[in-house]
Structure 1
C-alpha cells in the first residue's frame, strides 16, 4: 500500500484509491476549480457583443479593438503550459488563490480602462492570470478524485469547456445592455470570491518549492512564450491584415516558427522540462489533443459565426442573440450527467463518434440558412449541437488522461487545454478568412446573374422604383434608391451564402474526424459499475 503513494510528489499527488470516499472539502475544491475554468474561458469572448460600446468609450477603431480579445487569448495560451511549473513551485492552493486574486484586480482595471492601450495591457494581464485556472481545474479532478468519481469531475469540466464559449457573448450582451460594458469585467468578482473561498476551505496548505523556479528551463519557457504568443497574434490578426501580404504578419509567422521549433528542441534535449512534450508520443494522448484542437475550432467557430449572422443578417440585438445561443447551453446541463454515467459502460470511441456526428451534423444543418432564418429555425440545430458537445468533450478528456502517470497529469492537462484554445484561434482565423473570400466570390457570381441588362432585374428595379415614387420620392431619386436597395439585397444574400459555407466547412471537418477517433485504444471512464455505488 505505501509503495503506491510514496513516489507521488507532495503538490500533485496520485489520485486516491478507486473505492476511497470523497469528503465535502474535496468536492468544494473541485467545484471551485471548475468555476475558475468557466470564468477564464467565458472571458475570452465576453467582450465580443459589447465591443462597439467599449470602442466608443475608448475612441478606438474596429481594427484596433480586435487587440482587446487578441491580448487576452495570447497571454492565456502562453500561461497554460506553465501552470504545472507554477503549481509545483507555489503549491496548488497558494497558486490558485494568488492567480485568482490578481485576475480579479486586472478585471477591475479592465472595467476602469481610460484608453485603448491601458485596456490591452490589462486584458493581457487578465489572460495571464486567468489562463492558469483552466488546466488547474482538470488537474484537480485527476489528482483529488478517485477513479470511480472521475467521470463526474470530467463531466463538469466538459461543461465549462462547451458552455463558456457559447455563453460569453450572450452574458456580455445582457450585462452591457442593462448595466453598461464595465459590468462584464466587474461580474468576475462573484465567481472569483467563491473560488478563493472554496480553495481556502477545500485544499490543505502545501510546502512551496520555489527552488524549482530557479532551476526551471527558462530558455524553453521564453521560446514557448515567443512561439505561442506570435502564433496567436498571427492567427487573430491575419485576416484583417491580408495574411502574407502584410510584413507584420510575415514577421509574426517567422517568430512563431522559430519559437515553437526552439521550444520543442530544448524540451527534448533537457532532462527536466517545464512541461512534458514527450506525452505527444503516446497514441491516445496525441489523438485526443488533435481532436481537442478540432473541437475547439468547432466550439469557438460556431459561437463566432452564429452571433455574427444574427446581428448582421437578422438584425438581432445582443439580448435576442443571447436567447438563441442559450439553446446550445441549457440542454447540456441535462445531457452531461447522462453522458458521464454512460462513459463508464460504453466504449468511449462510440460515444465520441456519436457526439462528433451530432455536433458536425448541427453545423451542416446551419449550412442551409436564408435571410429569414431566425430563432424558430435555429432552435433545433442548437439543441442538436447541445446534445452532441458533451459526448465529445467528456470522452476526449478520458482519452487524453488514460494511462498518464500521476507526475505527468499537470503537463497532460496543460497541453490538452492549450491545443483546444489554439484550435479555437485557428478556427476563428479560418472562418474569418473564409467569410471574406466567399462573400466576394458569391457577390461576383450573383452580380453576374443580377445584371441591369437582364429582363427580371429590370422588372424588379421598375417595381421598386414605383414603390419609392408612390411614397412621395421624385422619380430620379427613386431610381437610385431602387438600385441601392437591390445592391444591398445582393450583398446580403452573398453574406448568407458565405455564412452557410463557413458552417459547412466546420461540419465537414468535425464529421471527417470521426475516423480518427477509431485510431485510439478502447477506453471507458474508470470506475465502471463500481463507481455507481459510492
Structure 2
C-alpha cells in the first residue's frame, strides 16, 4: 500500500528522526490510557471496604463500576470532535486535570450517591485518554516508528485490566481504599507535564462544537449508556424478568439506531461510522470486542475464583495476576519487531491460540488449584496477548484516511470496552446458571438415601462429637459441612465452564482474522498494508 495512506497532516515523513519532545508526548499519552483503563476495575477488590464505609449493599455498589463504564464509553466517540475543537494538547491537559479532580472527590465521597456521581464524572473525563493515546501514535510518529508506538499502546490495553484489581487490593490493604483514587495523581501530573512540554499549542476551533451533530451525539449517549447499564445490571436483576432491564434494552436499541441513522444522513457526523464499511477495520473492531471479552472476562473470573474458592487475600490474588503482566513487558518489543516482517494475520492467530489455549487450560481447575498451578497459564496468556493487541491495532488503522484517524481510534477502543462489558455480563450469567445446574446434578448423587453420603455424615458427626459438641448439633453441622462442599464444587465447575466459554470464543476468532487483508507494520523503508 502506498505510504501516503499512512501520512497524517503534520505527521513526520517515513524515516524522519523523532526528537525527545515527541516521544515524551506519546509516552504521556500512554500513561493516560493506562490510567483510564486501570480505573475501570480498580474498585473491584476494594468494593467490600468501600461499601462498608458508604453503608451500601453489594447490589447498590455495582453502580460504582457501571457509572464509570457508562460515562467512559459515551465520551470515547466524542474524542475526535473535542480534539478538532480544542486541539489535542489543550484537550488532554484539561480532561486530565478534571480526571484528577474527580478522582480526588471519589476518595472523599461521603455517600453512595456522591460516589456514583463522581465515578461517572471521572469516567467522562478519563475515557478520552484511551483513544487519544492511539491517535498520538498515528499522528505524531512516522510510519517506521508506529510499531513501537502501537506496542506501547497494546501494553496499556492488556496490562491495565490485569493490574486494576491487583493494585486496588494492594493499596487498600496498606493505605485504605481512598488511596486507589489518590494514586492517579502520580501518572496524571506526569501526563500534564509531558503534554505541556512535548506538544505545540494549537488554535481552537470552537465553531466545530457549535455546529456539531448534537442530535446524533444525544442518540449515541442514550444508546451506549443504556446498553452499558443493560449489560452491567442484567444478571443481578434477572435480565428480561425485570422491567428496569427491558426499559434499558429498548432505550439502547432506540439510541443506537438513531445514532446510525443520523450519522448517514448528516454530511459531517461527529464520528465516521462509515469506517465499519472497510473490511479490515470491520474485522479488527469485531475482534477487538472479542479481545475485550477475553481481557476483562479472564480478569473477572480468576480473582473471583481465588477469593471465593482458594480464600486468597487481595494481596495474594495480586501475586497470581502479576504473572499476566510481567512477561508482556519483554514480549511486546519482540512482537513489535516481528510485526513489520511477518503477515500480521499469522501473528494474530498465534496470539489468539495462546490466549484462548491458556483459558482452556484454566478450565480444569479443582478446589485445591492455586498459585503454583496457575502461574504457567498466566505466563502463556501474557505471551499471547501482545501479539493480538498489536496486530489488531495495525489492521484497524491500515488504509484509514488521515482525517478519519481520530474516528477510527475512537470506534476501535469503544468496541473493545463494549466487548468487555458483554463478556462480563455473559460470564456473570453463565456462573449463576451453571452453578445452579452443577449444584442440582451433584445433589442427585449426594442425597441422604446414598450409602456413601450416610457414611461421610457419620464420620463428620463423630468428629464433631469428639470435639465436645452434643450429638444433635454435631449432626446438623455435618449436614452443613456436606452442603458447603457441594456448593464449593458446583462453583468450581461453574468457573471452569466460564473459562471454557472464553477459550472457545478466542480460538474461534482465529477464523475471522483471515477475512482481513494481509498487513504488516510499516518498516524503516516504508510500506504499510499490503
TM-score (structure 2 length as normaliser): 0.98
Instruction: Decide which of 443, 447, 452 is 1:447's aligned counterpart.
Output: 443
Tell me which moved more, 13-22 or 256-265: 13-22
SS in 2 for 1:199: helix
Alignment of 1:329-348 (within 5 A): 329-348=325-344
Q: CA distance change for structure 1 residues 14 and 296 in 2, over 3 Å: closer, same or farther? A: farther
The 2-side partners of 1:223 and 1:529 are apart by: 44
Instruction: Decide which of 58, 61, 65 is 2:57's aligned counterpart.
Output: 61
The question of 1:121 aligning with 2:102 is answered no
The 2-side partners of 1:394 and 1:529 are apart by: 20
The 1-side partners of 2:11 and 2:139 are apart by: 4
Instruction: Decide which of 366, 370, 379 is 1:383's aligned counterpart.
Output: 379
Unaligned runs of 5+ in 2: none
Q: What corresponds to 2:305 in structure 1?
A: 309
The Cα shift of 1:530 comes to: 6.8
The question of 1:421 aligning with 2:406 is answered no
Residue deviations 1:276-306, cap 9 Å, x none?
0000000000000000000000000000000
The Cα shift of 1:522 comes to: 0.4
The number of aligned residues is 523
Please say if residues 135 and 405 of structure 2, whose CA atoms lie closer than 8 Å, have aligned partners that are also in contact.
Answer: yes
Unaligned runs of 5+ in 1: none
Q: What corresponds to 1:89 in structure 2?
A: 85
The 2-side partners of 1:16 and 1:274 are apart by: 26
Alignment of 1:503-518 (within 5 A): 503-518=499-514
The 2-side partners of 1:134 and 1:328 are apart by: 21
SS in 1 for 2:12: coil
Instruction: Decide which of 144, 148, 153 is 1:148's aligned counterpart.
Output: 144
The 1-side partners of 2:525 and 2:459 are apart by: 70
Please say if residues 363 and 381 of structure 1, whose CA atoms lie closer than 8 Å, have aligned partners that are also in contact.
Answer: yes
The question of 1:158 aligning with 2:151 is answered no
The question of 1:399 aligning with 2:385 is answered no
The question of 1:479 aligning with 2:475 is answered yes
The 2-side partners of 1:65 and 1:527 are apart by: 48
Q: Which runs of 4+ in 1 moved over 2 A?
A: 12-15, 528-531
SS in 1 for 2:109: coil
The Cα shift of 1:15 comes to: 2.9
The 2-side partners of 1:217 and 1:242 are apart by: 36
Residue deviations 1:396-443, cap 9 Å, x none?
000000000110000000000000000000000000000000000000
Residue deviations 1:200-244, cap 9 Å, x none?
000000000000000000000000000000000000000000000
The 1-side partners of 2:311 and 2:414 are apart by: 35
The question of 1:465 aligning with 2:465 is answered no
The 1-side partners of 2:456 and 2:11 are apart by: 71
The 2-side partners of 1:530 and 1:117 are apart by: 53
Q: What corresponds to 1:175 in structure 2?
A: 171
SS in 2 for 1:527: coil
Please say if residues 344 and 529 of structure 1, whose CA atoms lie closer than 8 Å, have aligned partners that are also in contact.
Answer: no
Q: CA distance change for structure 1 residues 14 and 405 in 2, over 3 Å: closer, same or farther? A: farther
The 2-side partners of 1:530 and 1:401 are apart by: 15
The question of 1:500 aligning with 2:492 is answered no
The question of 1:44 aligning with 2:15 is answered no
Q: What corresponds to 2:195 in structure 1?
A: 199
Instruction: Decide which of 9, 32, 35 is 2:31's aligned counterpart.
Output: 35
The Cα shift of 1:471 comes to: 1.0
Please say if residues 345 and 529 of structure 1, whose CA atoms lie closer than 8 Å, have aligned partners that are also in contact.
Answer: no
Residue deviations 1:444-493, cap 9 Å, x none?
00000111111111111111111111111111111110000000000000
The Cα shift of 1:14 comes to: 5.1
Alignment of 1:64-79 (within 5 A): 64-79=60-75
The 1-side partners of 2:427 and 2:131 are apart by: 26
Residue deviations 1:116-172, cap 9 Å, x none?
000000000000000000000000000000000000000000000000000000000
Please say if residues 232 and 421 of structure 2, whose CA atoms lie closer than 8 Å, have aligned partners that are also in contact.
Answer: yes
The 1-side partners of 2:89 and 2:483 are apart by: 60
Instruction: Decide which of 131, 138, 148 is 1:135's aligned counterpart.
Output: 131
Instruction: Decide which of 471, 484, 488 is 2:484's aligned counterpart.
Output: 488
Q: CA distance change for structure 1 residues 258 and 530 in 2, over 3 Å: closer, same or farther? A: closer
Q: What corresponds to 2:272 in structure 1?
A: 276
Residue deviations 1:364-420, cap 9 Å, x none?
000000000000000000000000000000000000000001100000000000000
The Cα shift of 1:529 comes to: 6.3
The 2-side partners of 1:462 and 1:16 are apart by: 79
The Cα shift of 1:16 comes to: 1.6
The Cα shift of 1:528 comes to: 5.2
The Cα shift of 1:13 comes to: 2.6
The question of 1:227 aligning with 2:223 is answered yes
Q: What corresponds to 1:218 in structure 2?
A: 214
The Cα shift of 1:19 comes to: 1.1
